[in-house]
Structure 1
Amino acid sequence: MKRSKFIVIVLALLVSFSLLSQEQTFQFNNGKTSDKIRFQLINNLIVIPIAINGVTLSFILDSGVTKPILFEHISSLEVLNSETKETFFLKGLGDGYVVEAIKSTQNKIEIGKAVKYQQTIYAIFDGSMDYTPKLGIPIHGIIGYDVFKDFVVEINYRSKYIKLLNPDTYKEKSCRNCEKIALSFYNLKPYITAQIRIEGKDIPVKMLLDTGASDALWLFEDASQQIVSTDNYFDDFLGYGLSGALYGKRSKVENLTIGNFVLNESLVAFPIGESIETLKKYKDRNGTIGAEILKRFHVTFNYQDSYMVIKKNANFKKPFSYNKSGIDIEHNGIRLVKNYYYTLDNGRLLYGKNTDVTKHISNKSPYDDYRLKTVPAFEIVKIRPNSPAQLAGLQLGDFILEVNGTDVKRYSLQELIHLFKGPDGKRIRIRIERDGKLFKYEFNLNNLLN
């Protein structure tokens, strides 16, 4: 992300699963050669519908994973082929420990009009691995390499669809404003060579392309290659990996160059700690290009011929922004609110069935009617030391009720987070619930990366 609450989710698992040569490939039904699938773009992540053994679920499309992964909290063990299960353990990105997982083979999986009958799927056997609160919508799993290897995959971030094309019949279109970029692969994951500029120095870098990382850039500090953070940075929570929380420095690079495209003032994160050492096992890797960069292009991945084609879209020149409040918010449970129903007929208050007035009515009359309604509860789960929100008095576990006078039930999680990405100095008035009591706080957004 940008600071948008970096839901790395690290959908880029660091475990290299062996590819089963016996597995079938995806095939289109009824002789089709392509299919278009609409997706939701949540915090820069592509969420698509996928059916596993006839059950439709929501998956993130992630070029950084090698095998589909289900999260056990949705009773995935009941979805998978029960005759082919075996248990093992995964160690992933983060500061935690290994997690238990289930491997299941010979599962039927459908993506749009494409189907595969012998898919290997991994279920994380840990109820705490639930990314739904972090994105605000149900997320059941992640999928990557199995899709990209069997199709030419076209991603239209602006119109929010992917197109799956049969590589045997695919013909590359002529495009004057496109760039064709060579792909290389390590552990079945795609890499490109790009260039960054730090303090006036142009540095070539080998970067993983990760559609499942919502940030812009990650770089691994390496003084020998002059890849180091400037003094213009702040320490921050970066997101979650498979095994826990991730921390590092947030900063900017002067620019990032991919082919002939130059993106100025890109946000960058420099992860720190022993938890990311496994990332560096590929010695030539310098970092990751995430979806905050990729969404600025129309992207076509062609794994079969080892290249991608990019064309800038209307997002290209949008400035990079981040959450300047210092708090990270998740959707944690629900709260009850009153919805009032009424209509006016010649000045007389009547009951109504279709009018939903969601604001509280302070002067209640005998004719008022309301229904209790459940809405998302948004909880502060991380708070940066010395941030505007912490200095104002906000605390971990606070539930946000209003921002600048508007009830947060009117917002999705991502819309709420977006309110904290405003211009430097913007005043934020916030009302919260803490231990059953109501409090109000005010603070100004503070840009730490001038």
Structure 2
Amino acid sequence: MIRRFFTFFCIMFICGPSFSQSGFHLVQTERTKIKFQHIDNLIIIPVEINGGKFSFILDSGVSKPILFNIINSSDSLKFKNIESIYLRGLGDGESTEALKSRKNVFKIGDAINVNQDVFIISDETINFTPRLGIPVHGIIGYDIFKDFIVEINYGSKFIRLNNPQTYRYKTCRSCETLKLTLYNNKPFIDAIIEVKGESIPVKLLMDSGGSDALWLFENDSLGLVPEDDNFFIDFLGKGLSGSVHGKRAKLKRFSINDFHINDLNVAYPDSAAVSFARKFKARSGSMGGELMKRFNIIMDYEGSKVTFKKNKHFNDSFEYNKSGIVLEQDGVRIVKERDQGSPYKNDQSNEELSRLSVIEAYKYTLKPAFRIVELRLDSPAERAGLMFGDIILKINNKEVHNLKLQEVNTFFRAQDGKLIRLKIERDGVIMSFQFKLKSLL
């Protein structure tokens, strides 16, 4: 479900800051390998800032690192050279105030930058941890890609940062290499889509910070419209400047050179939410994580090229949320659980009978609370009576506190007609609901 949530930003800097010429360097090595978490098609990597350890989304669609969700650790980071700035990103809201800090020390694997700019957002509502279910403190993109040849191995979940001066490409007959165009420090490729039997060339942002497969900017004159008006209106995600809504549909075919992917998901975001992104007139949309994960990718900004190789995910099916429910991890709740530490007692008080008694021992623990924060109109969940703010306790007889957020979301992407049974808490009252998933495409 939240596959589509995070189409992270395409940030436009309103006040046009100047950037330092320094960058990342490898320390006593020609390459460094970093394992990542792959959640909702997003790459989560460990990053050290001024000695503090954080988790960042690797987002090829952003120009400078952005920090958020650091309320409890901002004092220890000791940011210097701070000035106020306003940032604009995807969404239908206003610009966001941030602090720009210079001369910070960033470390990613064995790569270090001792003079890194970073933008700090203190607005608590801009926090993507609840949507992913794990701590996420920021996003970083261009500063890594510009200084290295970056290998993204979605199949084995690691990235490798290579020194461009010593990197040697291997012969790969099963690969496709495309020209990479940079515009405002963001990478674009040319691809072909098929709509209503016609092949249409498109220029797409390679957006590793977007969890959907493909976003297209709707344009009747170019033929960038849903096929046969087969679409539904949905919540597409949340950007730096607010929520993004739009149309969800299917696309017959997507091609990059001789690689073809059929029957994929596509979204057409509302024009107001992507107005800044559309200032690059040649841009047709974005290729997001749901598409990118099907390849192992080599990004070479210096050489102006990108190489694709199919991986084990290439033929994965394209699923989407059929329930209409969007969940967030919203705080914690108290859960009563059986204590497995010492459940038995040997009672020898009667000399003639030794008996083993079972003692029901329980403990109370804090577990994540999964709350409904979006509910699609006329969806199966809404028609069944679910409401905003409901906290899910059980799904198909499974206690959700024993599941990760993404595991819960998987239930909502099951096949058409799948029965979903929910036990929820609403204003302290336990209630039960059920509905069947319904495909709209």
| TM-score relative to the length of structure 2 | 0.94
Shift of 1:342: 4.4
1:18-33 matches, cutoff 5 A = 20=18, 22-29=20-27, 31-33=28-30
Shift of 1:235: 0.4
Of 421, 444, 450, which aligns to 2:436? 444
| Maintained 8 Å contact 1:429/1:443 | yes
Task: Give the corresponding residue for 1:303.
Answer: 301
| 1:107 is the counterpart of 2:99 | no
Structure 2 residue runs without a partner (length 5+):
347-356
Between 1:412-421 and 1:19-28, the stretch displaced more is 19-28
| 1:350 is the counterpart of 2:345 | yes
1:37-48 matches, cutoff 5 A = 37-48=34-45
2: distance between equivalents of 1:373 and 1:170? 51
| 1:369 is the counterpart of 2:364 | no
Q: Percent identity?
A: 45
Total equivalences in the alignment: 430
Shift of 1:8: 2.2
2: distance between equivalents of 1:176 and 1:63? 26
Q: Return closer, same or farther for 1:243/1:176 CA change in 2, 3 Å cut-off.
A: same
| 1:434 is the counterpart of 2:434 | no
Shift of 1:18: 5.8
Of 256, 264, 270, which aligns to 2:254? 256
Name the amino acid aligned to 1:96. Answer: G
Task: Give the corresponding residue for 2:409.
Answer: 417
SS in 2 for 1:311: strand
Shift of 1:72: 5.0
Task: Give the corresponding residue for 1:361.
Answer: none
Shift of 1:7: 1.8
Q: CA RMSD in A?
A: 1.8
Of 311, 314, 330, which aligns to 2:312? 314
2: distance between equivalents of 1:73 and 1:153? 28
SS in 2 for 1:83: coil
Task: Give the corresponding residue for 2:147.
Answer: 150
| 1:201 is the counterpart of 2:198 | yes
2: distance between equivalents of 1:162 and 1:17? 33
Of 371, 393, 406, which aligns to 1:401? 393
Deviations 1:417-446 (A, max 9, x none): 011110100011111000000111110010
Q: Return closer, same or farther for 1:19/1:194 CA change in 2, 3 Å cut-off.
A: farther
| 1:49 is the counterpart of 2:46 | yes
Shift of 1:243: 1.2
Shift of 1:366: 7.3
2: distance between equivalents of 1:83 and 1:319? 47
| Maintained 8 Å contact 1:73/1:129 | no
2: distance between equivalents of 1:167 and 1:255? 34
| Maintained 8 Å contact 1:52/1:107 | yes
2: distance between equivalents of 1:21 and 1:434? 49
Task: Give the corresponding residue for 2:138.
Answer: 141
| Maintained 8 Å contact 1:108/1:119 | yes
2: distance between equivalents of 1:256 and 1:222? 17
Shift of 1:19: 7.7
Between 1:330-339 and 1:18-27, the stretch displaced more is 18-27
| Maintained 8 Å contact 1:152/1:165 | yes
Shift of 1:17: 8.1
Task: Give the corresponding residue for 2:165.
Answer: 168
1: distance between equivalents of 2:76 and 2:409? 33
Task: Give the corresponding residue for 2:351.
Answer: none
SS in 1 for 2:316: coil
SS in 2 for 1:389: helix
Shift of 1:224: 1.4
Shift of 1:14: 3.1
Shift of 1:386: 0.6
SS in 2 for 1:421: coil
Q: Return closer, same or farther for 1:193/1:19 CA change in 2, 3 Å cut-off.
A: farther
| Maintained 8 Å contact 1:342/1:368 | no
Name the amino acid aligned to 1:82. Answer: F
| Maintained 8 Å contact 1:339/1:370 | yes
SS in 1 for 2:412: helix
| Maintained 8 Å contact 1:81/1:106 | no
Structure 1 residue runs without a partner (length 5+):
352-364
SS in 2 for 1:396: coil
| Maintained 8 Å contact 2:15/2:86 | no
| TM-score relative to the length of structure 1 | 0.92
| Maintained 8 Å contact 2:420/2:436 | yes
Shift of 1:79: 5.3
| Maintained 8 Å contact 1:16/1:187 | no
Q: Return closer, same or farther for 1:368/1:14 CA change in 2, 3 Å cut-off.
A: same
Shift of 1:23: 3.2
2: distance between equivalents of 1:299 and 1:379? 36
Task: Give the corresponding residue for 2:354.
Answer: none
